Chain A
Amino acid sequence: MSENEKKLSGAESLRKTRTYGKFRCHNPSCMGRMQPAAGQKTIKCPACNMEFRMAWVKPDFPRIRGPVWNVNREIAEKVRADKGAVPPTSKKEKK
């Protein structure tokens, strides 16, 4: 789509970086690439141990729906303790 027909624009040239059937870990400091098996419902990042629930946009198109909440909370509580961050007043919240 560049002005020069023989040359690719930046957007076009980056198209080769697209990957189908894979996704990246949603921990932004990890971003590890994961490739689930067809129909898989949860996935654990081998790099950072975060665990996610999965959804399938199409049979060959996986995406992360959200964290596995109990695992997410366990990891968060440990990190908060390590960092000395103020614990949340989560008792008041609805599950």
Chain B
Amino acid sequence: MALDRKIAYIDLTTGEIEIKPIPLQLRKKYLGGRGLDAYLLYNHTKKGCDPLGPGNALLVSGGILCATLASATARTHFMAKSPLTGLLGSTNMGGFFAPELAWAGFHHLVIKGKAEKPVYLWINNGKIEVRDAAALWGKTTTDTQWAIRKELNDEEIKSAVIGPAGENLVRFANVMTGIKNAGGRSGIGAVMGSKNLKAIAVRGTMDVKIAHPIEALEYNKKFIDQIVSSKVNQTQGILGTPFIWGATNSWGGIRTRNFQYNQCEYADDIEPERIDEIAEETMGPYHMVSCFACQVHCRAQYKIPSGPYAGKYDEGPEYTSQGAFGAEPDCKNAETVLVGNHLVDQYGMDNLETGSLISWAMELYELGIIGSKETDGLDLRFGNDEALIEMIHRICFRKSFIGDALADGGIPASKKIGKKSFDYLIQVKGMSNLHSDERATPSLALGIATGSRGSDHLRSRPAIDLYHLPEDVLRKIYGSPVPYDGPLSPDHTSYEGKAWMVFWQENCYMGVDCLGICKYHTLFLGATHPNFEDWPKVLYLNTGLEMTPKEIWEIAERSYNIERLFNLREGLKRDDLEKGDTLNHRYFDEPCLRGAPDVIGAKIDREKFEKMIDEYYVHHGWDENGVPTAETLKRLGIDEEPSHLL
């Protein structure tokens, strides 16, 4: 039974390992994955702990549906205090790791302490061993995984690893599995590096019993049909996530030259259709692959077609790499995007943070805030492809002033650079924004401002706000499972009802993160994708756990509030430009200059934005400072946290 998967506590300082069952009481409150990790983080870290110290807790998990018969339940979740933001660190990656972990007997790991020398964990059918990783230290992410397979003589081993960036404590280092499945954004790779933990290797052949297997299979057919028949997923299955570029760069939603423009003009060479051509030319017609149990297969395989890296194999690039190594630095060559993507995959470094920070540095260079002294002679102007690639190396290995400064993240770098550099840094809570430009879409702006792990498009983004769906359709979606009869505007430029849309999406994304389902299988890019009403039965048939849509909503809300409590404990304040629910002044002061007619001139209205934040807090049951009220905590049953039940 999925519910009998265990939790393991590993102390890398002492080598002690303890294995426990997960109480049903906590499953009913948090399900698993991100929700239960949030509970564990709040309970297993102390206020103000050093994110790169032994007191930080590294949590690894699969969702409650992981390794069952449910579709797209491949997601592995990691959580810790973030070395990038000093707040919640949380990341979620696809691939095959979490199902293998479940077959090895575990859904959750709590890793604390620090090993004396480099080690890796070997988890095999209920047993956990700490092994020497001296021979692995210094290797790239792919080489590390193959070296572990060779050492343990099993090519089916799945590993979550760090590369040189994690070892060098780059504060946005990733944990990686496979070639490009990345646990990115909040620097979990650096947390692993700080613990001298190079990898977690798993192999499992233990059955996961399904509560009602025949019915679960039958029911899953409906899910698959709903997913594969959608236009969004059919397109994604051919072009991968870069397919989004067609729409966003048409209307003017792509951050270009850091934040100077909102459209990357004449960038045909980095459009998804061109990237697809390269993938087909270098890998053949069947170059799309998938994560565990997924029918969308949105991951392209490619080889770099030309230049110094010609012939190197990688996967992706995701939509995020198009922006990070294309639009933001204004480098419009496919080869550059593919090389940049390859390097961050192999180094284990967040593509989005890397590209954003380099683009920020490029703007500072063109403004004269930094010069050749800071760049050690590098001509760091926009559109310089070679400088972009050079900066990726420098950040990973902390070379030169600018490479070392950026490796610590934007806010620490702005303090080292000084002058007015912070004003140009496009970040929320210390985390750089996606390459999307939200000035024309207040709902998206609210989402990045309030995301629990910092600026983020995967915590609450109501992407369908751009579809201009009729109000009755929006009410059907956003009026369930909790009734909502407030304002709800189909106009993407409106501020009406957007706070509710963001609140709803927050709970929806938290729901899939607790279940372990990929976001492309819920209401993110496709308005007809499964959500709350569709989940209870798949949960029941696979695990035997009976819940209503509203109960799953409450679990999501509870989990989100635990994350909020953690962030408040670590210093979040509403209007704090470094740790608050707000945006860089450029969102309010600089209008969009490109794109569709109604997008040109658009910027966020500060007064309306603040009102939206107020509404968002009210929906949550938080006070005007964004602090959950005593009533809210009691309603959600978290008024006595930390409760140390696990």
Beta-carbon contact of A28 and B219 below 8 Å: no
Beta-carbon contact of A1 and B534 below 8 Å: yes
Beta-carbon contact of B600 and A76 below 8 Å: yes
- Docked CA distance A73–B266 (Å): 10
Return chain A residues, CB-CB under 8 Å to B231: 18, 20, 61
Return chain A residues, CB-CB under 8 Å to B531: 10-11
Beta-carbon contact of B477 and A10 below 8 Å: yes
Beta-carbon contact of B246 and A1 below 8 Å: no
A48 an interface residue at 8 Å Cβ cutoff?
yes
Beta-carbon contact of B246 and A65 below 8 Å: yes
Beta-carbon contact of B537 and A3 below 8 Å: yes
Main secondary structure of the interface of A (DSSP, over half): mixed
Stretch at the interface among B58-66, B99-107, B587-595: B587-595
B116 an interface residue at 8 Å Cβ cutoff?
no
A38 an interface residue at 8 Å Cβ cutoff?
no
Known A-B contacts A1-B223, A2-B534, A64-B250; A29 and B265 likewise in contact (beta carbons under 8 Å): no
A36 an interface residue at 8 Å Cβ cutoff?
no
- Docked CA distance A58–B226 (Å): 19
Among B271, B480, B595, contact of A65 (Cβ-Cβ < 8 Å): B271
B359 an interface residue at 8 Å Cβ cutoff?
no
Return chain B residues, CB-CB under 8 Å to A28: 251, 440, 466, 468, 492, 596, 598-599
Beta-carbon contact of B235 and A63 below 8 Å: yes
Residues of A11-65 at the interface with B, using a CB-CB cut-off of 8 Å, are 11-15, 17-18, 20, 24, 26-31, 48, 50, 52, 55, 57-58, 61, 63-65
Return chain A residues, CB-CB under 8 Å to B538: 1
User: Considering only CB atoms, which chain B residue lies closest to A15 in the complex?
Assistant: B528
B222 an interface residue at 8 Å Cβ cutoff?
yes
- Docked CA distance A81–B216 (Å): 60
Q: In which size bucket is the chain B interface? A: 35 or more
B332 an interface residue at 8 Å Cβ cutoff?
yes
- Docked CA distance A48–B222 (Å): 39
User: What's the minimum C-beta distance from A75 to chain B, rounded to whole angstroms?
Assistant: 6
Return chain B residues, CB-CB under 8 Å to A58: 234
Q: In which size bucket is the chain A interface? A: 35 or more
Return chain B residues, CB-CB under 8 Å to A30: 596
User: What's the minimum C-beta distance from B249 to chain A, rounded to whole angstroms?
Assistant: 6
Beta-carbon contact of B251 and A26 below 8 Å: yes
- Docked CA distance A87–B160 (Å): 48
B383 an interface residue at 8 Å Cβ cutoff?
yes
Beta-carbon contact of A14 and B591 below 8 Å: no
Beta-carbon contact of B480 and A12 below 8 Å: no
A6 an interface residue at 8 Å Cβ cutoff?
no
Beta-carbon contact of A29 and B597 below 8 Å: yes
Beta-carbon contact of A87 and B222 below 8 Å: no
Among B219, B230, B273, B596, contact of A27 (Cβ-Cβ < 8 Å): B596
- Docked CA distance A6–B188 (Å): 45
Residues of B590-645 at the interface with A, using a CB-CB cut-off of 8 Å, are 591, 593-601
Residues of B within 8 A of A (CB): 219, 222-223, 226, 229-231, 234-235, 238-239, 243, 245-247, 249-251, 257, 260-261, 265-268, 271, 273, 330, 332, 382-383, 440, 466-468, 473, 476-477, 480, 491-493, 523, 527-531, 533-534, 536-538, 548-549, 591, 593-601
A-B contact pairs, 28 of them (CB 8 A): A1-B226, A1-B530, A2-B533, A9-B534, A10-B531, A11-B528, A12-B226, A12-B528, A13-B476, A14-B477, A15-B226, A18-B231, A18-B528, A26-B250, A27-B597, A28-B251, A28-B596, A29-B598, A61-B234, A63-B246, A64-B247, A66-B245, A66-B271, A75-B597, A76-B597, A79-B600, A85-B601, A95-B266
Query: Which 6 pairs from chain A and chain B are nearest by CB?
Result: A26-B250, A29-B598, A27-B596, A9-B533, A1-B534, A83-B601
| Given contact pairs A10-B480, A69-B265, A80-B593, a sample of 15 additional A-B residue pairs in the complex whose CB atoms are under 8 Å apart | A1-B222, A3-B548, A9-B533, A14-B476, A24-B467, A26-B247, A28-B598, A29-B596, A29-B598, A50-B250, A61-B234, A76-B594, A86-B591, A88-B593, A90-B265
Residues of A within 8 A of B (CB): 1-3, 9-15, 17-18, 20, 24, 26-31, 48, 50, 52, 55, 57-58, 61, 63-67, 69, 72-73, 75-76, 79-80, 83, 85-88, 90, 92-95
